[in-house]
Amino acid sequence: MKYLGTFLLFVLLLAGIFPVTGFGQGSGKPVIKIIATGGTIANTVDGRIPIEDVIADIRRSFPETHLLLDSVEFEVIDLIRVQSGALSGENFLEIARTANRVIQEPGVKGVIVTQGTVTTEITGYFLHLLVRSEKPVVVVNSQRRHGTVSNDGDKNFIDAVAVVLSPDSVGKGALVVTNQTINSGREVQKTSVRPDAFVSGEHGILGIIEEDRVDFYRMPVRRHTTRSEFDINVITVLPKVEIVYAYYDADPELIRAAAMGGTRGIIVNGITTRGSPNATQRSVLEELADRGVPVVLTTMGGVNNRIPLNAGDKFISGDNLVAHKARILLQLALTRTSDPEEIQRIFNEY
């Protein structure tokens, strides 16, 4: 049976081998808040449906999941129902603000955010940096529409519930659960349109969901969630930060254009391994740095670039963050400081 493993996992949970804490006050069950934000996981050939309907379909199609699904109380917040590629910075802040609020409620075991695959890694990193709780917050998605052949979303959702209920998930920051793997919101990247699309670069996944258990093999050591200095309750707008790509014969005027209109920071998707810009771009970027615009170097593919830069360099090392995640961190950093040394500290710690 497709979900026999999950059934066995929850036999163990109910037997006390994996203790469940944080029960709801009313039903005596642990409460899982679901923040629904659209995406393929709630999309059918006839259009998007409420996540409650997705769960009902799982119950109806896979009776072996009843023990799991009946052991918890779901409370759904239908926050956004759009294609994930249409989400804005304001939407990401709203998702993080909502997750941070509801996860603090008594009896709540954790939060599941249903999300489109296009922006899963972005949402995961925002949650990793902004949710002030050690309780599990899990982002889950689907590569294939609900109700279609080999739909992966149903299995991903079931696994996400198991991860929220696992005591080993506590304190590990925001997690992305797909294809029976557990990724950190900091490192996860989408690499294809297949169910195995989500990987975590050179440092690897945090754990896996087995037939009878949730297994973690490592944990994030960089600052996140309860140790984060960023406060979602006071962040109302994200500063403008642009990304420029390093390539041969790059026109520096494109950087000048990117720096117009109130841009407060530049991310360079640079040459591996230092994240260096092309030679034609360097002088313009140095001019911006001299004017107080932080310039952060990242590497193509997310290779660690925390090695000594050339003498006189005025840039900030983005460590192993890929460009679009370094942009998130720089935006949040700029809500607190514009000092390059402080921004470098933030990149070193997060």
What pLDDT digit, counting tens, does each position of 172-222 carry? 999 999 999 999 999 999 999 999 999 998 889 999 999 889 999 999 999
Separation of alpha carbons 215 and 242, rounded Å? 38
Distances (CA, A) of 166 to 77, 147, 152, 208: 22, 28, 21, 12
Separation of alpha carbons 83 and 23, rounded Å? 34
- Give the pLDDT confidence of 138-157 residue by residue, as tens digits: 999 999 999 999 899 999 99
Residue with tokens 């900030």: 316
Task: Give the per-residue pLDDT at 9.
Answer: 52
Task: Give the per-residue pLDDT at 22.
Answer: 35
H/E stretch holding 326 reads: helix 323-334
Structure token pair of residue 210: 């087995």
Domains defined along the chain, listed by start: 4-227 (3.40.50.1170), 241-349 (3.40.50.40)
Contact 350, 257 (CB under 8 A): no
* E strand spans, the chain: 31-38, 43-44, 47-48, 73-82, 108-114, 137-140, 174-178, 181-184, 189-190, 198-199, 207-209, 214-216, 241-245, 265-270, 295-299, 316-317
H/E stretch holding 90 reads: helix 89-102
Task: Give the per-residue pLDDT at 7.
Answer: 45
Contact 337, 264 (CB under 8 A): no
Task: Give the per-residue pLDDT at 253.
Answer: 96
Task: Give the per-residue pLDDT at 211.
Answer: 80
> What are the 10-residue block averages of pLDDT along the chain, 350 residues in total?
49 39 60 95 90 95 93 96 85 98 97 96 98 98 93 96 98 98 97 94 93 93 98 97 97 96 96 90 96 95 71 86 97 97 96
Give me the chain's average pLDDT, please.
90
Catalytic residues: 40
